C-alpha cells in the first residue's frame, strides 16, 4: 500500500479535499489519495504510471481511454477516480503475461490492426470485453462493439480482422 | 547461394511491424507519456471571440491560486520579441494575441502550474475584456468593399487579400475554348477539414541553464525543420537545441507547423528553468491548429464532340484564416493545385488563384495531401464526370480516351509538370472489372424502375508525391532533400537513422527491409531510429508522402555506399581483385569460382578487424538524397452507392481501389495506408467538416460536432494493385500514403451524383449529409456548402 498523491501532483493546498481510494488494477490492490475531481484516466496515467491508457478527446467520444471496469468496457476519462473505489480495473498493461501475449495483441500485430498505435490499447480492451461475452462474433457484431472507439489510421478493416483472428485463437485454445 | 529475400524480410515481404511490439503492450512512448523530474504543466487560455480588440487582461486572480508558477500574456512575449513568429508561407503569425484576437481559439494567455488541473483553474480565473469587431468567415465577405481589415498589424496591407496568382497559358486556353464544341462548367466548395489525429499536439520544453541547452520533446513530423525554426524564433544556436519527436499518435499534416503552444512552452521553461509540459486538449487542437482545404473551386472544360479534352480553366478562391500559414514548400502560392488533370492529355490549361484572410484559424496544412492536390484532384474528377454527362458519354470511356498513354512518357502536363510512368488504362480496366461495371449499369437501370437510386462513381488520378527536388521545393530556404545514416556493427547487425519521422507508417519496419534488399542483412538485425535531431541526420521530415520517395531512396543509396566498401573488403578477404568479385544478396563471391565467397557479415567483421592496408576502418556512411523529380503514383477508385430518396441517406455498396504506387516495399503496410486513406476520403464525402457560424464560432470544435467515421459507418474496401516502377527512384517506389485521401472523395460524390442523375441536381457540396441530399432531391437544385450555411438573420 502506498499513497500516491505526491506522484500525481504537489501536496494538496489547504482546503483542497482529498479522498482515499482503494482499487484493484490488473490484479493488484492500490490505495491512493486523490482529489475528488481527478479523472480515472489521469489516475491511471499519472498516478499509477500506466501510460498505455491514452486520452484523445474531451468529450467521451474517442475511446482511447477504454479500460475494463469490473469486466465491462468504460471510458476512463468519463469516470472519476473516486468512483473506482472498491472496483476492479483492467488496462492494456494487464493483457500480456511475462511469457506470452494475449491473442488480441497477437491478432493486432498479425493482421496489421494498428498504425500509430494510439487507439490500440482502447480498441483491444473493447474487443476483450466483446470476446468474453461473445466468443464467436460476426463482423457486424465486432464493428458495433468497437464503434465507441475511433481510429484515424487503419480504416478499421484490419482491426476487425485482428479481432476475428483473436476470437478464433481463443476458441481453439478453450476447446 | 543467394538468400531468399522474403525470408530475410526484404522488399516485397509483408513483414509484421517491429513498432507493434511496444504499441500492443501499451508501451508506446507518446509525448504525454514522458515525465521529467520537477516538470510543470501549461494550459493555454484561448479567445472565445473571432474578431475583437483586447481592451484589458487581468491575470491577478490567476496568480492567487496556489501552485501557479507563471502567467504569460502577449505583452510579456513581446518584451522578449516573441509575440509574433514567421509562418512557413512567409507571413507572420501571432504567438499570443496583443492588440486584437483574429480567430476563435487564438492564444491569449498561458498559465504554468504544478499540475494540469491547477493550470486550467487559473486560466479560468483570467479576466479578458474584449471589444467585438465585425467578423469575416468566408472569402466573399473578406473581399467585399468596406470589409473590416483583419491584418491591420501589417504595413501596406489595405484589404483582406493574401495573394493573386496565376499559372498556365491564358491565351492558348482562350483559343481552345473558342474552338470547343462544348464547354462544361462546375462550381464546388471543398470544405474546411481537420486532420485530427487522435493524439493532439503537445510539447515538453526543458531548458537547462547550466549547459545552455534546450531539449524539446514534441509532436512533430519534421524535427529538423522545427529546430531551424526554433533557432530563428528563440534566437538560440542550433547546436544548443535538441528536438525529439517521440511516438506520434498520427499526424496527417497536422503536426508539421510550428504552433504557438510549442513556442510558449519553450519560453516558459527558459523563465522557470524547469521542464514545462503542454498537452493540447481536443478543442484546442480542432479550433486552433492547422486545418486543411477550405477552397472554392470554379472551372470549365473545353471538349470536342468526340470526347477529346481541349483545354481547362480553373479559378480557386482559398480561405487561409487569420494568418497565411500554409505548410507547403513550393513557390506556387496555391501549392500544387495545378497538378490537376495531370493524367489526362490536355493541350492547354490556365489557373487563377486568389487567397484571402478571414477570422478563422490559420493553417492550410497538407492534410494527408501534397499541398492542395486533394482539392485539385477532387475538382478534376468532379469536372470530368460533369463533362461526360454533358457530352452524354460513358464516364469510364471519357476518361480512357483522354488518358496519357503508356508509351507517351515522360509527359509534360499542360500546367508544366513532368510525369514519368504509368499504365492508366490498365488500372481503370482492373477497377471496372472488379466492380463489374457493365452489370452494375444494367442493375442500376432496373433498380430505377422500382424507385431505387443506385449510383457508381469513378475517380482516376495521378498526383505528384514526395516533395521535392531542390530546384523547386524548399522550406525556409532549406532544400527538400532527405537523408539516411547506416552503421554496420562488426557482427553484421546495424543501426539506421533517417531524417524522416514515422507517425504510424511503420518506418522501423520498412526502412530495414530496404537495407535487407540492398545488403542481404536480415531485417530483424537492423534497428531503425528517427526523430532525435541530436542523432538523426538532417532531413525534412514526413508529410506529402515523401518518406519512401525521398528518405527511402536515401536508405537505398547509403546501403549501396556500404556495399561498395564491403566489396573492397571482400576482394581483400578473397585475395582477388575487386573486378573479379560478384554480388548476390548477402554475399560476395569470386566470379570464376562461385563457391569461394564471403558474407556481408564477414565483411563487417573485417571492417573492424582485418581491413585492407590503407583502408579507413569501420563500416558506416550516410547519404543525402535530392530526388530528380516528384513521383507520380496513379490510382483508380470506384464506388457504388444506394441513395434512399425518402431520407437522403446513402449507403456504400462496394469500394474498389486500384493503386499503382510502383514497387511495394511491404505490401501489408501499403494496403494499410490505402485503407486508412479511403476512410478519410469517405469521411470527407459523408460527414467530416468544420464550419463557422456568422459570429465566427467554430462548429466542429469537438468529436460530437466534428464527426469522424467509426467502424460502424466505414465501408469495407477491396484492394487491387498494378505495378509500374518509378524510373528515377533507386528502388522503383512511388509515394502512397495520401493517394486514397486525395482521389477517394470524388468517387463517393460522383457515385451519389450518378444516383441522382435525372433529378436536375448537378452538385451537392461535401459532406453529402443526408439533409443536403434530401433537400437536393426535393428541390431539384444544387446544394452549396459554402459557410456560413445558414444565417439566423
Ligand atoms: S479520452 Fe476520448 S473517450 Fe476518453
Ligand atoms: S492506429 Fe492510429 S488511431 Fe488507430
pLDDT digits (tens, 9 = 90+) for B513-567: 999 999 999 999 999 999 999 999 999 999 988 999 999 999 999 999 999 999 9
3 state SS for B201-257: CEEEEEEECCCCEEEEEECCCCHHHHHHHHHHHHCCCHHHEEEECCECCCCCCCCCC
pLDDT in tens, B425-459: 999 999 999 999 999 999 999 999 999 999 999 99
Per-residue pLDDT, B339: 97
Judge if A159 and A77 occupy the same domain. no
User: What's the mean pLDDT in B46-69?
Assistant: 98
Measure in Å the smallest separation between the Cα of B287 and chain A Cα atoms: 13
Residue B221 designated active-site: yes
Residue B738 designated active-site: yes
A interface test, pick of B13, B14, B26 with most A CB neighbours within 10 Å: B26
User: What's the mean pLDDT in A148-171?
Assistant: 98
Q: Is B532 a domain residue?
A: yes
Whether B282 sits inside 8 A of A64 (CB atoms) is no
- Please pick, among B93, B104, B106, B221, the residue that the annotation labels catalytic: B221
User: What's the mean pLDDT in A23-42?
Assistant: 97
Q: How confident is the model at residue B621 (pLDDT cuts 50, 70, 90)?
A: very high
Q: Is A175 a domain residue?
A: no
CA gap B351, B188 in Å, rounded:
15
CA gap B622, B499 in Å, rounded:
11
User: What's the mean pLDDT in B783-790?
Assistant: 72
Q: Is A12 on the interface with B (CB under 8 A)?
A: no
pLDDT in tens, A84-101: 999 999 999 999 999 999
Residue B793 designated active-site: no
Q: Is B530 a domain residue?
A: yes
| H-helix segments, B146-191 | 170-179
CB pairs under 8 A between A and B: 181
CA distances from A149 to A66, B136, B558, B682 (A): 8, 36, 41, 17
Residue B777: exposure state from Cβ atoms within 10 A (0-12, 13-18, ≥19):
buried
- Please state, rounded to an integer, the average pLDDT across all residues of chain A: 93
Whether A150 sits inside 8 A of B198 (CB atoms) is yes
Measure in Å the smallest separation between the Cα of A1 and chain B Cα atoms: 23
In this model, does residue B17 exceed pLDDT 50?
Answer: yes
User: What's the mean pLDDT in B457-484?
Assistant: 90
Nearest to A155 by CA among B219, B192, B713, B623: B713
Judge if B222 and B82 occupy the same domain. yes
Taking the centre of ligand 2 as the mean of its atom positions, its distance from the CA of residue A40, in whole angstroms, is 22
Q: How confident is the model at residue A11 (pLDDT cuts 50, 70, 90)?
A: low
**Which of A39, A65, A94 corresponds to the end of one domain?**
A94
In this model, does residue A7 exceed pLDDT 60?
Answer: no
CATH number at residue B563: 3.30.365.10
- Please state, rounded to an integer, the average pLDDT across all residues of chain B: 96
Q: Is A16 a domain residue?
A: yes
ipTM: 0.97
Q: Is B139 a domain residue?
A: no
Judge if B581 and B637 occupy the same domain. no
Number of domains in chain A: 2
Per-residue pLDDT, B227: 96
In this model, does residue B791 exceed pLDDT 50?
Answer: no
Per-residue pLDDT, B327: 84
Helix (H, G, I), strand (E, B) or coil at B77: helix
In this model, does residue A10 exceed pLDDT 70?
Answer: no
pLDDT in tens, B531-543: 999 999 999 999 9
- Identify which of B23, B250, B703 to mutate to test ligand 2's pocket (most ligand atoms within 8 A of the CB): B250
In this model, does residue A13 exceed pLDDT 70?
Answer: no
Domain containing B114 equals 34-133+200-248+255-288
pLDDT in tens, B19-54: 999 999 999 999 999 999 999 999 999 999 999 999
Measure in Å the smallest separation between the Cα of B443 and chain A Cα atoms: 26
Which of A57, A110, A115 lies at the smallest CB-CB distance from B703?
A57
Ligand 1 within 6 A of CB of A148: no
Instruction: Please name which ligand lies nearest the alpha carbon of B249.
Output: 2
- Chain B neighbors of A164, CB-CB under 8 A: none
Whether B24 sits inside 8 A of A93 (CB atoms) is no
- Please pick, among B369, B636, B698, B739, the residue that the annotation labels catalytic: B369
Nearest C-alpha in B relative to A57:
B282
- Identify which of A52, A54, A114 to mutate to test ligand 2's pocket (most ligand atoms within 8 A of the CB): A114
Sheet containing B587-590: order of strands? B581-584, B587-590, B593-599
Domain containing A29 equals 2-94
Which of A92, A143, A157 lies at the smallest CB-CB distance from B717?
A157
In this model, does residue B478 exceed pLDDT 90?
Answer: no
Judge if A42 and A107 occupy the same domain. no
Per-residue pLDDT, B563: 98
Taking the centre of ligand 2 as the mean of its atom positions, its distance from the CA of residue A64, in whole angstroms, is 9
User: What's the mean pLDDT in B623-642?
Assistant: 96
Whether B703 sits inside 8 A of A147 (CB atoms) is no
User: What's the mean pLDDT in B97-126?
Assistant: 97
Beta-carbon neighbour count of residue B705 at 10 Å? 15
Nearest C-alpha in B relative to A106:
B24
Per-residue pLDDT, A3: 38
Whether B28 sits inside 8 A of A109 (CB atoms) is no
Q: Is B645 a domain residue?
A: yes
Judge if A115 and A77 occupy the same domain. no
Residue B313 designated active-site: no
User: What's the mean pLDDT in B141-167?
Assistant: 96
In this model, does residue A4 exceed pLDDT 70?
Answer: no
- Chain B neighbors of A35, CB-CB under 8 A: 117
pLDDT in tens, A123-148: 999 999 999 999 999 999 999 999 99
Instruction: Please name which ligand lies nearest the alpha carbon of A121.
Output: 2
Ligand 1 atom closest to A60 (CA): 3
User: What's the mean pLDDT in B451-475?
Assistant: 92
**Which of A94, A127, A156 corresponds to the end of one domain?**
A94
pLDDT in tens, B311-320: 999 999 999 9
DSSP letter (8 states) at residue B473:
B
Q: Is A120 on the interface with B (CB under 8 A)?
A: yes
Judge if B453 and B496 occupy the same domain. no
Judge if B431 and B526 occupy the same domain. no
Amino acid at each position: 500500500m502506498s499513497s500516491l498523491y505526491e506522484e500525481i501532483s504537489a501536496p494538496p493546498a489547504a482546503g483542497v479535499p482529498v479522498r482515499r481510494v482503494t482499487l484493484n488494477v490488473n490484479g493488484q490492490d492500490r490505495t491512493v489519495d486523490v482529489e475528488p475531481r481527478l479523472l480515472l484516466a489521469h489516475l491511471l496515467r499519472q498516478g499509477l504510471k500506466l501510460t498505455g491508457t491514452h486520452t484523445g478527446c474531451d468529450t467521451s467520444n474517442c475511446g482511447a481511454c477504454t479500460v475494463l471496469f469490473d469486466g465491462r468496457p468504460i471510458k476512463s476519462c468519463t469516470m472519476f477516480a473516486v468512483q473506482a473505489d472498491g472496483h476492479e480495473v483492467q488496462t492494456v498493461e494487464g493483457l500480456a503475461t511475462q511469457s506470452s501475449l494475449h491473442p488480441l495483441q497477437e491478432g493486432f500485430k498479425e493482421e496489421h490492426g494498428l498504425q500509430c498505435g494510439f487507439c490500440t490499447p482502447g480498441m483491444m480492451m473493447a474487443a476483450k470485453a466483446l470476446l468474453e461475452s461473445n466468443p464467436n462474433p460476426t463482423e457486424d457484431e465486432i464493428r458495433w462493439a468497437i464503434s465507441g472507439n475511433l481510429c484515424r489510421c487503419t480504416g478499421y478493416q484490419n482491426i476487425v480482422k485482428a479481432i476475428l483472428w483473436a476470437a478464433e485463437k481463443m476458441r481453439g485454445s478453450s476447446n | 547461394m543467394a538468400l531468399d529475400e522474403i525470408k530475410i524480410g526484404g522488399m516485397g515481404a509483408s513483414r509484421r511491424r517491429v513498432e507493434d511490439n511496444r504499441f500492443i503492450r501499451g508501451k508506446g512512448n507518446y509525448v504525454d507519456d514522458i515525465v521529467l523530474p520537477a516538470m510543470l504543466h501549461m494550459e493555454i487560455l484561448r479567445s472565445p471571440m473571432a474578431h475583437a480588440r483586447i481592451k484589458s487582461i487581468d491575470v491577478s486572480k490567476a496568480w492567487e491560486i496556489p501552485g501557479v508558477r507563471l502567467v504569460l500574456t502577449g505583452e510579456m512575449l513581446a518584451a522578449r520579441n516573441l509575440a509574433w513568429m514567421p509562418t512557413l508561407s512567409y507571413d507572420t503569425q501571432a504567438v499570443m494575441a496583443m492588440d486584437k484576437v483574429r480567430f476563435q481559439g487564438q492564444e491569449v494567455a498561458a498559465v504554468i502550474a504544478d499540475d494540469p488541473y491547477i493550470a486550467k483553474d487559473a486560466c479560468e480565473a483570467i479576466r479578458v475584456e474584449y471589444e467585438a469587431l465585425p467578423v469575416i468567415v468566408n472569402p466573399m465577405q473578406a473581399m467585399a468593399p468596406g470589409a473590416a481589415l483583419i491584418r491591420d498589424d501589417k504595413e501596406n496591407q489595405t484589404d483582406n487579400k493574401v495573394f493573386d496568382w496565376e499559372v498556365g497559358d491564358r491565351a492558348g486556353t482562350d483559343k481552345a475554348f473558342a474552338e470547343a464544341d462544348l464547354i462544361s462548367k462546375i462550381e464546388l466548395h471543398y470544405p474546411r477539414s481537420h486532420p485530427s489525429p487522435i493524439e493532439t499536439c503537445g510539447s515538453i520544453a526543458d531548458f537547462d541553464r547550466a549547459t545552455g541547452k534546450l531539449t524539446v520533446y514534441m509532436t512533430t513530423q519534421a524535427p529538423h525543420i522545427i529546430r531551424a525554426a526554433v533557432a530563428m524564433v528563440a534566437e538560440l544556436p542550433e547546436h544548443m537545441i535538441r528536438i525529439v519527436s517521440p511516438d506520434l499518435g498520427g499526424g496527417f499534416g497536422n503536426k508539421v507547423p510550428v504552433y504557438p503552444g510549442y513556442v510558449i512552452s519553450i519560453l516558459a521553461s527558459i523563465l522557470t528553468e524547469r521542464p514545462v509540459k503542454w498537452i493540447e486538449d481536443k478543442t484546442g487542437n480542432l479550433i486552433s491548429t492547422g486545418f486543411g482545404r477550405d477552397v472554392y473551386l470554379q472551372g470549365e472544360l473545353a471538349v470536342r464532340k468526340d470526347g477529346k479534352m481541349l483545354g481547362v480553366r480553373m479559378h480557386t478562391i482559398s480561405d487561409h484564416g487569420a494568418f497565411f500559414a500554409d505548410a507547403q514548400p513550393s513557390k506556387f502560392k496555391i501549392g500544387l493545385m495545378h497538378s490537376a488533370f495531370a493524367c489526362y492529355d490536355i493541350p492547354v490549361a490556365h489557373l487563377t488563384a486568389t487567397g484571402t484572410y478571414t477570422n478563422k484559424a490559420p493553417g492550410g496544412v497538407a492534410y494527408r495531401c501534397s499541398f492542395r492536390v486533394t482539392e485539385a484532384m477532387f475538382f478534376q474528377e468532379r469536372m470530368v464526370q460533369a463533362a461526360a454527362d454533358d457530352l452524354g458519354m460513358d464516364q469510364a470511356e471519357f476518361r480512357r480516351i483522354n488518358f496519357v498513354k503508356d508509351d507517351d512518357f515522360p509527359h509534360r502536363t499542360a500546367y508544366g509538370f513532368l510525369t514519368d510512368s504509368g499504365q492508366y488504362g490498365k488500372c481503370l480496366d482492373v477497377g471496372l472489372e472488379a466492380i463489374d461495371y457493365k452489370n452494375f449499369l444494367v442493375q442500376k437501370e432496373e433498380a430505377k424502375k422500382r424507385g431505387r437510386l443506385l449510383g457508381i462513381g469513378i475517380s482516376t488520378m495521378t498526383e505528384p508525391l514526395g516533395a521535392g527536388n531542390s530546384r523547386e521545393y524548399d522550406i525556409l530556404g532549406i532544400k527538400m532533400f532527405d537523408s539516411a545514416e547506416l552503421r554496420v556493427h562488426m557482427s553484421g547487425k546495424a543501426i539506421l537513422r533517417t531524417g524522416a519521422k514515422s507517425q504510424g507508417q511503420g518506418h522501423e519496419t520498412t526502412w530495414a527491409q530496404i537495407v535487407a534488399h540492398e545488403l542481404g542483412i536480415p531485417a530483424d538485425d537492423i534497428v531503425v531510429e528517427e526523430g532525435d535531431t541530436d542523432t538523426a541526420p538532417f532531413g525534412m521530415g514526413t508529410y506529402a508522402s515523401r518518406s519512401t520517395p525521398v528518405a527511402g531512396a536515401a536508405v537505398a543509396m547509403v546501403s549501396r555506399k556500404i556495399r561498395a566498401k564491403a566489396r573492397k573488403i571482400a576482394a581483400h578477404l578473397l585475395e582477388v581483385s575487386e573486378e573479379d568479385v560478384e554480388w548476390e544478396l548477402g554475399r560476395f563471391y569470386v566470379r570464376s569460382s562461385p563457391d569461394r565467397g564471403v558474407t556481408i557479415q564477414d565483411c563487417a567483421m573485417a571492417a573492424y578487424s582485418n581491413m585492407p592496408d590503407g583502408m579507413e576502418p569501420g563500416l558506416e556512411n550516410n547519404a543525402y538524397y535530392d530526388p530528380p523529380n516528384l513521383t507520380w503514383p496513379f490510382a483508380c477508385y470506384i464506388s457504388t452507392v444506394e441513395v434512399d430518396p425518402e431520407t437522403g441517406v446513402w449507403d456504400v455498396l462496394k469500394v474498389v481501389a486500384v493503386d499503382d504506387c510502383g514497387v511495394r516495399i511491404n505490401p501489408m503496410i501499403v494496403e494499410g495506408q490505402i485503407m486508412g486513406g479511403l476512410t478519410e476520403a469517405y469521411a470527407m464525402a459523408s460527414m467530416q467538416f468544420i464550419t463557422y457560424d456568422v459570429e465566427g464560432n467554430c462548429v466542429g470544435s469537438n468529436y460530437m460536432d466534428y464527426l469522424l467515421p467509426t467502424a460502424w459507418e466505414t465501408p469495407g474496401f477491396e484492394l487491387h494493385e498494378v505495378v509500374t516502377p518509378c524510373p528515377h527512384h533507386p528502388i522503383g517506389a512511388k509515394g502512397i500514403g495520401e493517394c486514397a485521401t486525395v482521389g477517394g472523395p470524388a468517387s463517393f460524390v460522383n457515385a451519389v451524383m450518378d444516383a441522382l442523375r435525372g433529378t436536375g441536381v448537378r452538385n451537392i457540396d461535401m459532406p453529402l449529409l443526408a439533409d443536403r441530399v434530401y433537400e437536393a432531391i426535393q428541390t431539384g437544385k444544387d446544394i452549396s456548402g459554402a459557410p456560413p450555411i445558414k444565417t439566423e438573420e
